[in-house]
Structure 1
């Protein structure tokens, strides 16, 4: 039995592989120009009597997710007046969420193509270990910006290479992404433990990096980690919503065979998507080193679950073809606000994970009801 080879797509938009391939691909992925798909346009549901722009906004996943976040903030503000949402709380919530937001941006692309990446926390650890080992042998805590620049390239390159390798296994070897990334989870963590002997070595983070980036603030107000996270979200949010790369991502997640027939090199694109999340895991590794000053080898076993939770809370579909970076941004802050609020009102720590799990299940359930209401078939 033979399989139809993928049709290559020229990198130059002016010279598509066939006269109509690029145009057909753009047409197949047209819904990606908005976080709201045609089924969500609001004109076929309870908002059909409203003006089109308002109906579209109210039907968007991001609007509903933002509503959940607003309700949480309102509840904790009433339950603990003057104690919740102080300037300190806001700063801490944003700083703690920054690394998960960077990872979540990459996971958004992966989930939209109907993939999954369980290795993201281990890739972060491996990237941090290799970058930290370079720093350790080139000045340690006393190293300057030259060492920081090289260690950053090492972290980014490690994540990029690992992600691309997993992408090749998914796209070319046809191994299910769940299996590939589950294996990658163990392999990356194992390599990190082999390199370090299972211990977090000292002096793996530059004091300059920690002082200027980890604890530094733009204009003395906004933590640099938050600036980096927001910048990453903005850049890749625009890429997802307004570029051909983003349209291809949605098209593949919606219908990979239709995308292939329209001229999209599906396999090549999948490799790029998995390479992207690896690259952002490398960036997350440097942010972690900057803030915590250590590789924290044993501290990232649940990063994948936290990031996937944020992406799903943000409205992305695990079946592919649906999601947005804006939704992920909101989704990242729901668990962060929930955890902080429960601490403020004195709820026992063990109940926090229970509450986050309940919110996740309810969010998905409500979204399913909403979708079924719009499309009974």
Structure 2
């Protein structure tokens, strides 16, 4: 018969003494995406019962397509929040990148692939600038990205002259992500497919690589991570640069989704991305969260928006519902962080 060590026996005894609520707290601590998953399933059931057409293949396809932009931006936002930072410039970087790549390629002015690479490169540089200001000048991420939000927004408006560029003036490569395919009435665009691939790649990087572990370590306790040999500043700089790269790819997805490049696109992208990340179970205090939770959070935001809209709920009440969700998500996170062994 196998012997049980005193430490193991004590731990098992402690687990048995937990109340049902404490067991839920421990479960959510280990799997922070479970609570948003429950919310998503319940929301889907409620809206389907209230409006059966909500669950039709066509309606679900539209919901997924509309989720793609916020979901893409939320990947970069998740990386930043995992390091206990926040990025308010996500939408501004995306729009600036979009307008640059569209303006350069307009009416054959530049090969589409080159314009795309320049736009994505510009977004990466913008993210790198945020990272340099945070790591080299030791400025708070909130202040840095609040400032660059205004800077990048102004540059995008000045560069574009406030004018939109329709898809008919753009090369096929910039419009291709708006095209797609149907499966039994459920339509997916190549932009949605690309966003899913981004989640798979970054999910693997965060969970299966040393760099991913460094990101969590920097967010959990940067000083301890530094003492343990983690190059905290370099990792933080890389996080902001990679986030910028992701925002640039999101700009490409947005052109395909919107059928145009406009400087006034997705004006609340920064708030939506933060909402998706927080609702998805990633801690605003850093060091805890999963990309799968972020994807669920982005779906929740869109499911609530479409569901309440189909039920005829006013826009003001939809905004209120989203705000309540955010507060509940942060409250749950605070409660989970108090978990005791």
TM-score, with length taken from structure 2: 0.88
Residue 297 (structure 2) pairs with residue 335 (structure 1) = no
| Structural mapping, 1:119-134, within 5 Å | 119-134=89-104
Structure that is richer in helix per residue: 2
Aligned residue in 2 for 1:169: 133
Residue segments in structure 1 that go unaligned for 5+ positions in a row: 1-41, 141-146
Residues 87-134 of structure 1 show CA distances to partners (whole Å, capped at 9, x for unaligned) of 111101110111111111111110010111100100011101110111
Residue 46 (structure 2) pairs with residue 61 (structure 1) = no
* TM-superposed deviation, 1:293: 2.7
Contact 2:283 2:289 (C-alpha < 8 Å) held by counterparts: yes
Distance 1:257 1:205, change over 3 A: farther
Q: Secondary structure at the match of 1:222?
A: strand
Residue 100 (structure 2) pairs with residue 135 (structure 1) = no
Aligned residue in 2 for 1:190: 154
Contact 1:103 1:120 (C-alpha < 8 Å) held by counterparts: yes
Aligned residue in 2 for 1:99: 69
Contact 1:205 1:293 (C-alpha < 8 Å) held by counterparts: no
Residue 148 (structure 2) pairs with residue 178 (structure 1) = no
Residue 229 (structure 2) pairs with residue 229 (structure 1) = no
Contact 1:126 1:188 (C-alpha < 8 Å) held by counterparts: yes
1:303 to 264, 269, 272: 269
* TM-superposed deviation, 1:48: 10
1:118 to 88, 97, 100: 88
Q: Secondary structure at the match of 1:84?
A: helix
Distance 1:227 1:44, change over 3 A: farther
Paired with 2:302 and 2:18, the residues of 1 have a C-alpha distance of: 32
| Structural mapping, 1:1-377, within 5 Å | 45-46=18-19, 56=27, 60-80=31-51, 82-136=52-106, 138=108, 147-202=111-166, 206=170, 208-209=172-173, 212-217=176-181, 221-372=187-338, 374-375=339-340
* TM-superposed deviation, 1:295: 2.3
Contact 1:119 1:182 (C-alpha < 8 Å) held by counterparts: yes
Root mean square deviation, CA, Å:
2.5
The number of aligned residues is 323
Q: Secondary structure at the match of 1:94?
A: helix
Contact 1:205 1:289 (C-alpha < 8 Å) held by counterparts: no
Q: Secondary structure at the match of 2:314?
A: coil
TM-score, with length taken from structure 1: 0.80
Residues 24-45 of structure 1 show CA distances to partners (whole Å, capped at 9, x for unaligned) of xxxxxxxxxxxxxxxxxx8885
Contact 2:276 2:294 (C-alpha < 8 Å) held by counterparts: yes
Distance 1:58 1:255, change over 3 A: closer
Paired with 1:226 and 1:65, the residues of 2 have a C-alpha distance of: 21
Residue segments in structure 2 that go unaligned for 5+ positions in a row: 1-14
